[in-house]
Amino acid sequence: MRREIPLGITIFVGFLAIISFFCPPIEGLGEDFTLFFDIIAVFAFFLGGGNLVRIHASKLIKHKADWAYSIVTLVGFFVMLAVGLFKIGNPGGISASLTAPGSLFSILYMNLHLPLGSTMYALLAFYVASASYRAFRAKNLEATVLLVAAFIILLGSTPFGQMLTFWMPDSLDLLEIPNLAVWIMSSPNLAGQRAIMIGIGLGVVSMSLRLILGIERTYLGEDRG
Amino acid sequence: MSRASIVVLVLVCVAFAASWVVRAGANEGDAAVRDAFLVTLAAFLTLAIFSFMYRDNPYYKFAEHLFVGVSAAYWMCMGFWSTIVGNLVPRISESLSDFFQVPYSGGGLDFGLFYFSYRYFYLIPIILGILLLMRLVPKAGWISRWPLAFIVGTFAGLNLVRYLQSDFIIQISASFVPLFVDWHGFGHFFSGLSLAANGQFVAMLSNLVVFLGVICGLIYFFFSKEHVGWFGGASRLGIWILMITFGASFGYTVMGRISLLVGRLTFLFGDWLGIIG
Amino acid sequence: MGNIGVILMLVLIGGGLLWLFIRALRGREVDRRVVFAFILVSVALPLLLTITFEMKPTPVVEALYDRIDSLPSGSRILISFDFDPPMAPEVQPMADVITRHVLAKGHKAIFMTLWATGQSQFNVTLQDVIRADFPEKVEGVDWVNLGYKAGNEGVLNVIRTDFKKMFPTDVNTIPWDSIPILRGIRSCSDFELVISVGGGKPGVKEWVLFVGDPTGVPTAGGVAAVVAPMLYPYYPRQMCGILGGIKAAAEYEDHFRKNYPVFSDMKTPALVMMGPQTVAHVVILAFIVIGNVLFFVARRKEVRR
Amino acid sequence: MKHKLKLILVLLLFIWGTAAAQSDTAPGDAAIAAPSIPPPAPVTNLQATDTDNDHGHAITLTWEKSTDDGAGANAVVAYDVWRWYPLEMDVVDSLRQDLAATRDAVRAFRIDLPRAERALEELQEDAAKLNTTRFRVAVPDVPGFTLTVDYALSKLADTIAYMRDNRPILMSRIKPEQQELAQALERLTQAHAAFPQNGEWRTIGKALAGATSFTNTGSKDQTSSDFFPDYSDLYYRVEAVTIDPAVRSEAVQVGPVQSKGQWFHTGKIPVVLFVVMFLVFTVTFVQLAKKGTDLYVRPLSGIEAVDDAIGRATEMGRPILYLLGIGVATEVNTIASFSILGRVAKRVAEFQTPIIVPCYDPIVMAVAQEVVKSSFLDAGRSDDYRQESVFFVTNYQFAYVAAVNGIMLRERPATNIYMGKFMAESLLLAETGTLAGSIQIAGTDEIAQIPFFIVSCDYTLIGEELYAASAYLGREPVLLGSLKAQDWAKAVIMVCALMGMVATALGWPAFAHFFQVTG
């Protein structure tokens, strides 16, 4: 029973969701299900938050490596949680938006969360460069194709692309770097994107069918087909 | 702690304090001291993250752990206020809506034949949420599979039809392109043959590339047929097309990543140091 | 003064790269921290020296510009701010210049956001563009901000057929029916154009799938560069214009500035950003070349052995 | 300054009197001008039908254009559409408004009464502190307008008393008003059937010249002001109007017509066909596989690498890091990753290598714990399972990356496996992994991120391969059967694309038209 009931639930709601797509009177069901998920996800935050606190508390108590930093995590977590849940320091009180300008919550967001997040994101600029340096090498034919496409697009997004090839006659102007970059984006790139998209569509459909038909049930903690 | 790291720590503290004092002097208004502290803190955290590029270090660890704690709580609070208070409460309870001062919306599912009020319908996610929390009870942990089964089932169904429609059927029909563009016979075709970007030949070439590219790309993804012979050749062409796609995608993305760095440096140079306007 | 700075910068970066190139010919790898340092310098220096370039619009960018420009003035255009502060450096300039163009042309702009954080980004545009350049435009008559609603694609599913159901009021809780600009708008199909500016999910793609496709209303978007290649399959059938990344934003800014001389001295954050962009791109290209030189040098050594 | 808030309440009182106010609108008397141009011809062949493929609550009118639609002095500029409304609709409307007003008032009282009481207290305290009531407080939003405290105090007290007295009365009114509204709604169908008694024609909209259709829709929500009743007899009229609004054709009438919801959306037939096709393929090949037919699948290098990578980790005595990405449990890519995790965890349990699974989403964490636990159970090593190996990090992309990057450099995993949904963090993770010297295997269906994985990982599963991976690793005939079905679907697409191209070349739009999905 422990395994049949969840499987039954999956199959039932799966087919219900498919039917709702074709049946106008219940077409809004998908929306409701999305909201259901969001609500369940908030309940799950108790699991997540509890897990986070437990892990860092145990690190702290057992004096594992870097235990001192766990204090930082716990303090940050509880301060932000208290400020947010009780809307401490919010000028508009309970009715104002959580992120109202001037509220303590938004000040913490703007000065802690935002710089940290943006900087982490900006690290990508450096990593993109080091990855290009290390990985774009003409080791074999595929790698060379990858390299050449990237090179042309990169060149095309600078004014130098224009400067290098402006002398091309009109009858050959496809070979001007900016035009070539646009052509690559709109022809081979489009074909590749489309092939992958259709493939992914197929994969998703096939995977969903496997789930709804009860063929794939690893997610229930079961490894038998 | 080594001697060098103590020296670094002292230097960082001095720099932090100096920045706070200098900014506070430059700012105006009631909150000058507070604002100076906040901008210094934001700059400190920015530099702490950047320091990771050199190597892992205590300042990065500090920033990382702070970030984990703050962000976990941030999204919990957002979830609570926007989902529970913003969407659940107005559907199920009038008095709770008044307590949180959100407008009660009520409503329900209207099937024409019968009407199902949200007041009862939206008890389902609450029950499922509570079942999920049963994981915390060791003996009843198995019951938490029910909500998981519900989530997976509903979205498998929804995704199935959505992907079929948007990523699949529409993409297929979009690849129905004419191979002969502006066709006036071979004479016309050969007399006007050129590599002009908006010419007839390039238009036809593009359509051919798109068509063959999609077909060969799909052939590359065939799992149950050996990639040999003409099939193998097509699959090889497919992988080239995919490589061009990835190369182009990579090259295009570099642009965006640089902008993000510009954004951060603008903060450091502008908001913090005040050397650019 | 500026020129000396530029020359010094070019000497510094070019000289450094040349040195690395010569080292590469001898088969010596470059440490990743050196790469990082070059990127930092090549972004920071042009930013401090404010180097800018001229831009020529690419067809997808021009398509959006022409679409906005060719609509009869007074058309109602929905603009959705679907991004957050970390993404802002790349897409905020697009949101700004599109808003400026829409208002300059005399269209009615209706703003909304699918991201909780998009609200604060709209406020930036409100300060920098609407209040600054169009003080005469009246809120509720020429533009209105409907604010944020939670629900991602769910929101789109609802407003596709019934806008008022999702947004009973605007952001200042003024009821829908008493806002003049919204009179006669029932669903998304009543707009002449829908533009989403964003870079994540939900974003432009969701607008196309959930609003543009089902209703047939012209849809366009401004996105972070990383998302742009994914949107090209939708152009021109499902989307009538795409701004991909800061380069497109710069092109739009330049094109708009040339056609609307009144705004010739407007702020052009995207154009300013193109300086660091260009130098950094060249540096990355140089590193790719150095990497390949290293690869071939190493291979030749192997062959000799 | 701080009196501002309190004074809002005083102002509330002034506004209060308008709570139940109703406004009457007198119909405008248009000046009757002598028609200077002859009236245009009426529309012909007017039809009213229930709008197709909807949930009801809409009627579509179609007609053939007036013969004067086009040019001439009496050219038609628009078509006016009228609908017959029984007076009962007005009754429903006013009852609805009453109920809404009562509800609003009750809510306002519930919120404002405590605020007013608090404000009164504070104002009194301030007065006591200053030991005088002879100061003035500013009224917000009205610059320069102030009130004496005495006056404000007395008004506040009045407000509070008024609220206290009226709240129970108002609350007791909600129930009966709801019942009354429900009854009126029930009478609507009858009232519509009584046409043409007890009702009148009202204009509901305009269609511009040249148009030949109009859709009258409304809300399905009974409490909404534009509620549109289903299963009721509705009557419509259409008039052609010239540039002079007084000059119009005679009205053409149509009715009765009823709106209702359809149980099937015919615009989505192509989707149904494809669903059925998939279903047939999958079931057929799964049955074949069950019977023992040998199904060939070509090797995928990324999949083969998984085993080696686990072996390598065991030799080095270092852990394996498995990331499910930043998807939530509703996304199919994350679900595919669960399956792969299940297979990987089973091997890991057999090899007795530690595994680390930091999670981005609490629900994903819950599922992952379940998956890993039962994999260990299956491998017969349930004692080795440690719950803290699958843990929650944080629900924000970049904080998650920051933490995982830290784990990579500090725990030094021998192998990193990335499967699922990855966004901008892909390169941040993969580059740090390279730096740490780990073998890396990635798989994602985020097209924009695949290039980053390709350049910095040792093996990458591209798009669709992610979904096939679990079938590959499981090696169960049933799952391989579904892969075969997927390939057949692919073949069908290629044939469709080929036929579509031929059809376009030959100028047959019907084929492409079939793939149009509406709604």
DSSP codes of every residue in C228-258: HHHHGGGTTTT-S-EEEHHHHHHHHHHHHHH
Q: Check residues B251 and B175 and name the one with the higher pLDDT.
A: B251
Nearest to A29 by CA among A19, A43, A44, A39: A19
Residue C281 near chain D (CB below 8 Å): no
State yes or no: pLDDT of D26 exceeds 60.
no
**Tens digit of pLDDT for each residue in D240-272?**
888 777 888 888 898 788 888 888 888 888 888
Alpha carbon of B19: minimum distance to chain A alpha carbons (Å): 16
**Interface test mutation site (partner A, options B46, B151, B265, max chain A beta carbons within 10 A):** B151
Distance CA C233, CA B166 (A): 12
For B24, list phi and psi in degrees, rounded to 5.
-60, -35
Which pLDDT belongs to residue D405? Answer: 96
What is the per-residue DSSP string for chain B?
--HHHHHHHHHHHHHHHHHHHHHHHH--STTHHHHHHHHHHHHHHHHHHHGGGT---HHHHHHHHHHHHHHHHHHHHHIIIIIIIIIIHHHH-HHHHHHHT------EEE-SS-EEEHHHHTHHHHHHHHHHHGGGSGGGGGGGHHHHHHHHHHHHHHHHHHHIIIIIIHHHHHT---SS-S---HHHHHHT----TTSHHHHHHHHHHHHHHHHHHHHHT-SSS---HHHHHHHHHHHHHHHHHHHHHHHHHHHHHHHHHHHHHHIIIIIIT----
For the segment C20-48, the average pLDDT, to the nearest whole number, is: 92
State yes or no: pLDDT of A116 exceeds 90.
yes
Q: Residue D220 in contact with residue D242, Cβ under 8 Å?
A: no
Alpha carbon of A98: minimum distance to chain B alpha carbons (Å): 7
State yes or no: pLDDT of D5 exceeds 60.
no
State yes or no: pLDDT of D2 exceeds 70.
no
In chain B, what residues touch D468 (CB-CB under 8 Å)?
A: 223
Q: Residue A216 in contact with residue D481, Cβ under 8 Å?
A: no
| Nearest by CB: A113 against B46, B70, B213 | B70
* Stretch 175-214 of chain C: residues touching chain A, C-beta under 8 Å: none
The percent of residues above 90 in pLDDT, for chain D, comes to 25
State yes or no: pLDDT of C237 exceeds 80.
no
For the segment C117-123, the average pLDDT, to the nearest whole number, is: 82
ipTM of model: 0.88
Residue A23 lies inside a defined structural domain of this protein: no
| Nearest by CB: B166 against C209, C224, C277 | C209
Distance CA C59, CA C242 (A): 9
**Tens digit of pLDDT for each residue in D136-193?**
776 655 666 777 777 888 888 888 888 888 878 888 888 888 888 888 888 888 888 8
Which pLDDT belongs to residue D156? Answer: 83
For the segment B218-231, the average pLDDT, to the nearest whole number, is: 90
Residue A90 lies inside a defined structural domain of this protein: no
Which residues, at least 6 apart from D515, have a Cβ–Cβ distance to it below 8 Å? B169, B170, B172, B173, B176, D270, D496, D500
State yes or no: pLDDT of D491 exceeds 50.
yes
Q: Check residues B7 and D10 and name the one with the higher pLDDT.
A: B7
Label residue D70 exposed, middle or buried (CB < 10 Å: 0-12, 13-18, 19+).
exposed
Q: Check residues C257 and C120 and name the one with the higher pLDDT.
A: C257
* Stretch 112-131 of chain A: residues touching chain D, C-beta under 8 Å: 113, 116-117, 120-121, 123-124, 127-128, 130-131
Alpha carbon of C198: minimum distance to chain B alpha carbons (Å): 13
Cβ contact (<8 Å) for B256 and C116? no
In chain A, what residues touch D476 (CB-CB under 8 Å)?
A: 225
Distance CA B51, CA A116 (A): 12
Distances (CA, A) of A188 to A87, B253, C190: 52, 17, 36
| Nearest by CB: B161 against D271, D331, D498 | D271
* Stretch 19-38 of chain B: residues touching chain D, C-beta under 8 Å: none
State yes or no: pLDDT of C76 exceeds 60.
yes
Q: Residue C296 in contact with residue C59, Cβ under 8 Å?
A: no
The percent of residues above 90 in pLDDT, for chain B, comes to 38
Residue A200 lies inside a defined structural domain of this protein: yes
Distance CA D321, CA D392 (A): 14
For the segment D111-134, the average pLDDT, to the nearest whole number, is: 77
| Nearest by CB: C229 against D219, D424, D448 | D448
Distances (CA, A) of C62 to C59, C90, C207, C254, D323: 5, 19, 21, 11, 41
Q: Check residues C122 and B178 and name the one with the higher pLDDT.
A: C122
Which pLDDT belongs to residue D138? Answer: 67
Residue B82 near chain C (CB below 8 Å): yes
3-state secondary structure of D463: coil
Distance CA C198, CA C196 (A): 6
- A222 band by pLDDT with thresholds 50, 70 and 90: low
Q: Residue C74 in contact with residue C191, Cβ under 8 Å?
A: no
CB contacts < 8 A (A, C): 114
Distances (CA, A) of D473 to B268, D11, D238, D467, D479: 49, 71, 67, 11, 10
* Stretch 160-179 of chain A: residues touching chain C, C-beta under 8 Å: 160, 162, 178
State yes or no: pLDDT of D28 exceeds 60.
no
For the segment D220-242, the average pLDDT, to the nearest whole number, is: 83
Cβ contact (<8 Å) for C86 and D448? no
For the segment C213-236, the average pLDDT, to the nearest whole number, is: 81
Averaged pLDDT score across all residues of chain D: 83
Structure tokens given for D33: 């001008």
For the segment A60-86, the average pLDDT, to the nearest whole number, is: 93
* Stretch 95-124 of chain B: residues touching chain C, C-beta under 8 Å: 103
Distances (CA, A) of D81 to B214, D101, D216, D227: 49, 32, 9, 18
In chain D, what residues touch C200 (CB-CB under 8 Å)?
A: 423
State yes or no: pLDDT of A162 exceeds 90.
no
**Interface test mutation site (partner A, options B110, B139, B160, max chain A beta carbons within 10 A):** B160
Which residues, at least 6 apart from A43, have a Cβ–Cβ distance to it below 8 Å? B128, B129, B130, B132, B133
Nearest to D339 by CA among A203, B160, A201: A203
- D72 band by pLDDT with thresholds 50, 70 and 90: confident
Which residues, at least 6 apart from B238, have a Cβ–Cβ distance to it below 8 Å? A195, B213, B216, B217, B218, B219, B220, B221
CA B205 to chain CA centroid, nearest Å: 35
Helix (H) or strand (E) holding D240, with range, is strand D234-242
Residue A18 lies inside a defined structural domain of this protein: no
CA B45 to chain CA centroid, nearest Å: 23
Q: Residue D339 in contact with residue D370, Cβ under 8 Å?
A: no
Distances (CA, A) of D122 to C62, D107, D150, D159: 61, 23, 14, 16
Cβ contact (<8 Å) for A185 and B240? no
Helix (H) or strand (E) holding C294, with range, is helix C269-304
Cα-Cα-Cα-Cα dihedral sign, residues B1, B6, B12, B17: positive
Q: Check residues C213 and C141 and name the one with the higher pLDDT.
A: C141
State yes or no: pLDDT of D356 exceeds 70.
yes
Which pLDDT belongs to residue D340? Answer: 92
Largest CA distance in chain B: 84
Boundaries of domain holding A178: 137-215
Helix (H) or strand (E) holding C76, with range, is strand C76-82
Distance CA C111, CA C79 (A): 5
Which pLDDT belongs to residue D173? Answer: 85
Which pLDDT belongs to residue D368? Answer: 93
Q: Residue A211 in contact with residue D335, Cβ under 8 Å?
A: yes
Q: Check residues D12 and B241 and name the one with the higher pLDDT.
A: B241
State yes or no: pLDDT of D19 exceeds 60.
no
Nearest to B213 by CA among B180, B177, B189: B177
- A224 band by pLDDT with thresholds 50, 70 and 90: very low
* Stretch 138-197 of chain B: residues touching chain D, C-beta under 8 Å: 144-145, 148, 151-152, 154-156, 159-161, 164-165, 168-170, 172-173, 175-180
Residue A66 lies inside a defined structural domain of this protein: no
Residue A149 lies inside a defined structural domain of this protein: yes
**Tens digit of pLDDT for each residue in B51-97?**
999 989 999 999 999 999 999 999 899 888 888 887 888 888 877 87
For B109, list phi and psi in degrees, rounded to 5.
-95, 125
Cβ contact (<8 Å) for C58 and A182? yes
User: What is the β-pairing status of strands D252-257 and D234-242?
Assistant: antiparallel
Cβ contact (<8 Å) for A145 and B247? yes
Distance CA D354, CA D235 (A): 74
Distance CA C52, CA C268 (A): 10
Structural domains in chain C, CATH included, are: 2-52+270-304 (no CATH), 59-263 (3.40.50.10160)
* Stretch 446-475 of chain D: residues touching chain A, C-beta under 8 Å: 447, 450-452, 454-456, 462-464, 466-468, 470, 474
List the single residue in D with minimal CA-CA distance to A210.
D482
| Touching partners of C (3+ C-beta pairs < 8 Å) | A, B, D
Q: Residue A83 in contact with residue A109, Cβ under 8 Å?
A: no
Q: What is the 3-state secondary structure (H, E, C) of D392-431?
A: ECCCCHHHHHHHHHHHHHHHCCCEEEEEEECCCHHHHHHH
Ranking A71-80, B21-30, D30-39 by mean pLDDT, the lowest is: D30-39
Q: Check residues D401 and A183 and name the one with the higher pLDDT.
A: D401
| Nearest by CB: B269 against C48, C150, C168 | C48
> What letter would DSSP give residue D217?
E
In chain C, what residues touch A38 (CB-CB under 8 Å)?
A: 150
Tell me the Cα Rg of chain C: 23
Residue C48 near chain D (CB below 8 Å): no
Q: Residue B238 in contact with residue B217, Cβ under 8 Å?
A: yes
> First-to-last CA distance in chain B?
41
Structure tokens given for D5: 């808030």
Which pLDDT belongs to residue D268? Answer: 83
State yes or no: pLDDT of C158 exceeds 90.
no
Distance CA D246, CA D171 (A): 49
| Nearest by CB: D362 against A24, A45, A218 | A45
Cβ contact (<8 Å) for A225 and D53? no
Label residue B89 exposed, middle or buried (CB < 10 Å: 0-12, 13-18, 19+).
buried
**Tens digit of pLDDT for each residue in A183-200?**
888 789 989 988 998 999
Q: Check residues D142 and D111 and name the one with the higher pLDDT.
A: D111
User: What is the β-pairing status of strands B108-110 and B115-117?
Assistant: antiparallel
In chain B, what residues touch A189 (CB-CB under 8 Å)?
A: 244-245, 248-249
Residue A146 lies inside a defined structural domain of this protein: yes
Q: Check residues D35 and D290 and name the one with the higher pLDDT.
A: D290
Structure tokens given for A84: 């947010």
Number of domains in chain A: 1
State yes or no: pLDDT of B140 exceeds 60.
yes
Which pLDDT belongs to residue C103? Answer: 92
**Tens digit of pLDDT for each residue in C88-106?**
888 999 999 999 999 999 9
State yes or no: pLDDT of D209 exceeds 60.
yes
Residue D278 near chain A (CB below 8 Å): yes
| Nearest by CB: D332 against A44, A135, A208 | A208
| Touching partners of A (3+ C-beta pairs < 8 Å) | B, C, D
Cβ contact (<8 Å) for C47 and B262? yes
Q: Residue C171 in contact with residue A48, Cβ under 8 Å?
A: no
Q: Residue B259 in contact with residue C246, Cβ under 8 Å?
A: yes
CA C4 to chain CA centroid, nearest Å: 32
User: What is the β-pairing status of strands D146-148 and D320-325?
Assistant: unpaired
Q: Check residues D127 and B113 and name the one with the higher pLDDT.
A: D127
| Touching partners of D (3+ C-beta pairs < 8 Å) | A, B, C
List the single residue in D with minimal CA-CA distance to B156.
D332
Nearest to D374 by CA among D382, D383, D384: D382
Distance CA C105, CA C247 (A): 23
**Tens digit of pLDDT for each residue in B39-51?**
999 999 999 999 9
Nearest to D82 by CA among D310, D185, D261, D235: D235
In chain A, what residues touch B202 (CB-CB under 8 Å)?
A: 174, 183
Residue A55 near chain B (CB below 8 Å): no
Q: Residue A40 in contact with residue B35, Cβ under 8 Å?
A: no
| Nearest by CB: C245 against B54, B87, B256 | B256
State yes or no: pLDDT of D438 exceeds 80.
yes
* Stretch 345-384 of chain D: residues touching chain A, C-beta under 8 Å: 346, 361-363, 365-367, 370-371, 373-375, 378
Nearest to D244 by CA among D28, D29, D70, D34: D34
> What letter would DSSP give residue A223?
-
Ranking B107-111, B177-181, D70-74 by mean pLDDT, the lowest is: B107-111
Cβ contact (<8 Å) for A126 and C40? yes
Quote the pTM value.
0.85
Distances (CA, A) of B26 to B20, B46, B273: 10, 21, 11
Residue A60 lies inside a defined structural domain of this protein: no
